[in-house]
Amino acid sequence: MKSILSMYDLIPVILLVLQTFILLLSIVSVLRKIKLLQLPFAGIAYPKLLITAAILLSTMMISFADIDGLMQSVRVFHNYGDGFYRNLFFKFSQFILLIMLSEFLFALLFFVSIRIIPGFRQSFADQDDLPGAILLSIVMLLLAFLLYCCTTEVMEKLTPKYINFS
Residue 137 three-state SS: helix
Residues 33, 41: Cα–Cα separation, whole Å: 15
Q: What is the mean pLDDT of residues 104-127?
A: 76
Q: What is the mean pLDDT of residues 85-112?
A: 89
pLDDT tens-place string over residues 12-33: 888 888 988 999 999 989 888 9
pLDDT tens-place string over residues 132-160: 788 888 989 999 999 999 999 998 888 77
Say what the pLDDT of residue 120 is. 65
Q: Angle 84-116/46-63 helices, nearest 10 degrees?
A: 150
Q: What pTM was computed for the model?
A: 0.81
Residues 21, 16: Cα–Cα separation, whole Å: 8
Nearest to 159 by CA among 88, 100, 104: 88
β strands within 39-140, DSSP E: none
pLDDT tens-place string over residues 54-78: 999 999 999 888 888 888 888 788 7
